Amino acid sequence: MLPTLGKLVKVRDLADEIKLLRVELLDGRSEAFKTCQPGQFAFVSAFGLGEAPFGIANAAERGPEVDFAVARLGTVTTGLHELGEGDIVGVRGPLGNWFPMKKFQGKDLVILGGGIGGAPLRPVIQHVLEHRSNYGNLSILWAARRPDLLVFSDEYDEWRTAPNTTLFLTVDSPDEGWNHNVGLITQLLEKVSPSMENAITITCGPPIMIHFVTKMLQEKMGVPPKDNYVTLEARMHCGMGKCGRCNLGEKLVCVDGPVFNMEEVGKLLETFL
């Protein structure tokens, strides 16, 4: 359980109380992340306080540095927020399974991110943009409670201008000057209604959002459960299938997930809600 040391090479505000930490792994350990797949996660240590799991927020093609989006919510994340460029953190990973990007080739992708739930979806978007011709249409539905909680807003232009790529934004509470959608992501989804004929959907956000979005995709838009992907959050303390904390019924989110399709989720004894 010994982490690799990493240096913060970039720290920037991503949204209100959310920072992007870019880590350069030391001691030649960035090798381990070269084969990192979209959807995997890692533990980040604020030494002296502890460690917490975060979805890896960039694709390996955009490495060798590793990005993490950190919302200030608890002891470890507050500790990480207090660090600056040049400071040392610990990184343990990559861990968990990933989105089967090869299997998605030739398909349209509909990506639904809510709040900081967008972070583990960014490597999927980046991977598709890096290998654009391998995939069909890319629709990104991006939501947050308020405009200042939308993550990666400085990258929206890159996403919008990529071929066959569309970005839709929505917030619950708009501010002055907001000229995109207002309302829940489910309302946006209904309005946009992307073609689901040859599509894979990928959802990440708060559990309640995942619940309603995947339900709508399945029941109203005909997405088969096996093509309806989610990445789930769970409290974890080891990430290696030992500490027992993240079980959803007989599955462990850390080693059997965090990526599941709804067919798999449907078979679980316990719900993720």
Partner 1 sequence: MSNSPAPNKQWKISRIELETWLDEIAVARTLIAPRLVSGIFLYRHVTNSSEIAWSEEKSESPHTSRPILSSKEVFFPPTERLFTIQKSGQEIHLEENYPNWETVVFGVRPCDARGVKLLDAVFMDTIPVDSCFARRRGNTTLIGMACKELNSNCFCTSVGGAPDDAHDMDIMLYEADGEYLVEAVTEKGRFLIPGGEWKETSETPPKSTSNGQFPIPQKGKWLEHFNDDYWIKISERCLSCRACAYVCPTCRCFMVRDEMIQPGEFERIRCWDSCGGENYRRVAGGHKPRAEKGERLRNRFYCKFYYYPEQYGLNAESACTGCGRCIEVCPAGVDITEVLLDLEKSV
List residues binding partner 1 (CB under 8 A). 1-3, 5, 47-52, 71, 73-74, 77, 86-88, 90, 206-207, 233-235, 237-238, 240-247, 249-252, 269-270, 272-273
Question: Is 3 or 136 the residue whose CB approaches partner 1 more closely?
Answer: 3
Query: Residue 55 CB, nearest distance to partner 1 (Å)?
Result: 13
Query: Residue 249 CB, nearest distance to partner 1 (Å)?
Result: 7
Backbone angles phi, psi at 145, to 5 degrees: -70, -45
Q: Using omega within 30 degrees of 0 as the cis cutoff, is the peptide bond preceding 224 cis? A: no
Closest CA to 80 of 115, 57, 47, 53: 47
Can you name the residues that pair with 25 across neighbouring β-strands? 6
Distance between first and last Cα of the chain? 29
Query: Residue 57 CB, nearest distance to partner 1 (Å)?
Result: 16
- CA pair distance 10, 182, nearest whole angstrom: 32
Question: Is 4 or 126 the residue whose CB approaches partner 1 more closely?
Answer: 4
Question: Is 121 or 199 the residue whose CB approaches partner 1 more closely?
Answer: 121
- CA pair distance 35, 97, nearest whole angstrom: 12
Question: Is 48 or 177 the residue whose CB approaches partner 1 more closely?
Answer: 48
Query: Residue 43 CB, nearest distance to partner 1 (Å)?
Result: 9
12 sits in which H/E element? strand 4-15
